[in-house]
């Protein structure tokens, strides 16, 4: 039976870098945000988003993601509506992906809101990635070319590290990539998973 690690952390914690280390070591990784973007291009989901949020979010049938983000990241109710559309579709997509990796000892599911969505209960282990708040804010401002205020708003929509850590099996502090990579190696050793490549 394939074991699943749920990999999570607040915005700007560097989950993607940690997911990359798992991949590097031969562990298949499912990046929920990337897959959600693909899922949101399906006709079925586009129609649901249109009927929930209106046609004005679309230009030539292409979703304006920035406009949608503006709506949902400033309003918990609107975010819940979007999640109710996207999460079930991503869940189906992950089940399909998992079936394709059924011979693997271990796979990783990476998502920002693993706890907030209640999905953490579906996994065998939880790894939370942390980094100092200032580092996270700087990373996101640079990455998304956005304001400090916007980043802080998004942070407030997520659980804090303390809350995440209390429900996690492993915690990786991602202030230093070299040390964070060693933590991934350590986790695989503890779980008795052989690295396919290093």
User: How would you label 57-76 residue by residue, b for 16+ Cβ within 10 Å and e otherwise?
Assistant: bbeeeebeeeebeeebbeee
Contact 67, 17 (CB under 8 A): no
Q: For residue 12, say whether it is annotated as part of any ligand binding site.
A: yes
Q: For residue 15, say whether it is annotated as part of any ligand binding site.
A: yes
Identify the residue whose tokens are 């079936």: 99
Q: For residue 16, say whether it is annotated as part of any ligand binding site.
A: yes
Identify the residue whose tokens are 């920035």: 66
Rg, Å, the chain Cα set: 17
E-state strands within 113-178 = 125-130, 170-173
Q: CA 104 to CA 55: how far, in whole Å? A: 42
Strands 58-59 and 62-63: antiparallel
Q: For residue 13, say whether it is annotated as part of any ligand binding site.
A: yes
Q: CA 84 to CA 96: how far, in whole Å? A: 19
E-state strands within 10-99 = 29-31, 58-59, 62-63
Q: For residue 8, say whether it is annotated as part of any ligand binding site.
A: no
Q: For residue 42, say whether it is annotated as part of any ligand binding site.
A: no
Question: Which residues sit in the known binding site for ATP?
Answer: 12-17
Question: Which residues sit in the known binding site?
Answer: 12-17
């Amino acid at each position: 039976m394939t074991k699943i690690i749920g990999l999570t952390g607040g915005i700007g914690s560097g989950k993607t870098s940690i997911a990359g280390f798992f991949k590097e070591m031969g562990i298949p990784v499912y990046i929920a945000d990337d897959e959600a973007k693909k899922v949101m291009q399906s006709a079925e989901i586009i129609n649901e988003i249109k009927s929930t949020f209106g046609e004005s979010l679309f230009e030539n049938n292409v979703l304006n993601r920035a406009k949608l983000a503006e709506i949902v990241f400033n309003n918990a109710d609107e975010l819940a509506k979007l999640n109710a559309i996207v999460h079930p579709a991503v869940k189906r997509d992950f089940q399909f992906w998992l079936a394709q990796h059924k011979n693997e000892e271990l796979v990783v599911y990476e998502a920002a809101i693993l706890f907030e969505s209640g999905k953490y209960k579906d996994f065998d282990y939880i790894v939370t990635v942390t980094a100092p708040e200032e580092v996270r804010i700087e990373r996101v401002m640079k990455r998304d070319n956005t304001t400090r205020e916007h980043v802080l708003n998004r942070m407030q929509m997520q659980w804090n590290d303390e809350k995440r850590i209390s429900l996690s099996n492993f915690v990786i502090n991602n202030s230093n990539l070299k040390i964070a990579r060693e933590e991934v190696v350590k986790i695989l050793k503890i779980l008795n998973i052989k690295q396919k490549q290093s």
